[in-house]
Amino acid sequence: MDRIGRSLTWSQVHARRLSQHYLLRRADHQQLLEVVIRIGGVQAQLMSAAELALGARLDGLSPAGVQNALWQERTLIKTWAMRGTLHLLTTSEFPLYVAARAAQTIRRPPSYYTYHGVTPAELEAIIDAIPQVLNDTPMTREQLAGAIAERAGQPNLGQVLLSGWGALLKPSAFRGDLCFGPSQGQNVTFVRPGRWIGEWQPLDPQEALQEMARRYLAAYGPAPAADFARWWGFQEGPAKKLFRSLGDEIEEVDVEGWPAWALRATLEHLQALEAPRSVNLLPQFDAYVIGLSRDCEPLLPAAYKGRVFRPQGWISAVVLVDGRMAGTWEYDSQRSQTTVKVSMFKPAAAGVKEGIAAEAERLGNFLNTKVVLVYE
């Protein structure tokens, strides 16, 4: 992994990332799985935002199409993944994510157990019981908690598992023993992935984690190791070591004074790219925003960082202009009308406003409502 220092421009980097995210040229709705694979999953703690993220990249997609892929076709799976957050992944790629997670050594401090009200032995009992009580019949959280407590012979675990936001179920999700099933009214449900989507052959953990680094650089690169560490959810030190393990597959580049790593195989294409011309409305928690540097002026001016990355991990919906964050937006749907409120960081040129209007119209088509666009 030599330091050549090839020079790139921000316009070239923006063009590459936008292209990889299907934000310059959208895919057809039949390419849903290809898009999810390419961008490394879709964050889904807000299911409506996950649907909008896919709608921003695919023509002809509807929310019903996403739901159908999840619960009827079972080609998508909903589970806790990177950073311990809910994601939509493809079922074909799910084993890769499980294996990559297994490459990490989990060290839980005493404070973890105190905070969650369990002992190390009780957590192990929960982890051991989950694959024994779950199958392809969806179980509500209450049903699962009761079944685990009975299986482990520890009645107190039932109440423990009903408190909080399901943190004690995440270790099992990371191991591939638990994922979400279709909701029953307001209640979430869980199933065992091996029964829900079928069993799979285990992959080598270290090779899987290396593949995740390649996938990340393909979709979000060039990028420093620290950005991958934040995206994946571990420390910068292991991320640097992982990047070094890729050897000559990656190369250090200079993006107008910003050092980053890129896949060597992408550099010729990167250097041939021209400045992009695009306007995109990306929803809350969009993959494009989550995966990139948070302290990079050409992507997001520092003065406006607080309007995008908000307290408690909330990430605003953004107006993307030529790959740069140029404003935020929100929407409110009432009956058959949706109001889109746009707040630009600086006054928008006429061409940008035309692009925003076109994006708002697409949003209305996706939601099947009339759209009213207002600026704040």
Task: At 201, list the tokens.
Answer: 């052959």
Task: At 275, list the tokens.
Answer: 């400045």
Task: Tell whether 257 is covered by a domain.
Answer: no
Distances 11 to 24, 255, 274, 295 between C-alpha atoms, Å: 13, 10, 7, 18
Q: Regarding predicted confidence, which is higher, 163 or 243?
A: 243
Task: Tell whether 226 is covered by a domain.
Answer: no
Task: At 329, list the tokens.
Answer: 């937006």
Task: Tell whether 123 is covered by a domain.
Answer: yes
**CATH at 174:** 1.10.10
Domain of 119, in residue numbers: 96-196
**pLDDT band at 55, cuts 50/70/90?**
very high
> Average pLDDT, stretch 31-56?
97
For position 163, what pLDDT does the model report? 81
Task: Tell whether 23 is covered by a domain.
Answer: no
> Average pLDDT, stretch 152-177?
92
- Does the pLDDT value for residue 216 go beyond 80? yes
For position 18, what pLDDT does the model report? 97
> For a pLDDT cut of 70, what percent of the chain falls above it?
99
Q: Which amino acid is at 178?
A: L
Relative to beta strand 76-80, strand 370-375 is unpaired
Task: Tell whether 111 is covered by a domain.
Answer: yes
Instruction: Provide the CB-side half-sphere exposure for 351 (13 A, CA).
Output: 5
Task: Tell whether 66 is covered by a domain.
Answer: no
User: With contact defined as beta carbons under 8 Å apart, do 249 and 214 qualify?
Assistant: yes
CA 55 to chain centre: 15
> Average pLDDT, stretch 110-117?
94
Task: Tell whether 134 is covered by a domain.
Answer: yes
Distances 245 to 97, 177, 210, 257 between C-alpha atoms, Å: 19, 29, 8, 25
Per the structure, the count of domains in the chain is 1
Mean pLDDT for all residues in the chain: 95
pTM of the model: 0.95
- Does the pLDDT value for residue 142 go beyond 80? yes
> Average pLDDT, stretch 278-286?
98
User: With contact defined as beta carbons under 8 Å apart, do 258 and 296 qualify?
Assistant: yes
Q: Distance (Å, rounded) from C-alpha 196 to C-alpha 71?
A: 10
CA 306 to chain centre: 20
**pLDDT band at 117, cuts 50/70/90?**
very high
Phi-psi group of 275: left, alpha or beta (phi > 0 → left; psi -120 to 50 → alpha; rest → beta): beta
Strand partners, 327: 319, 344
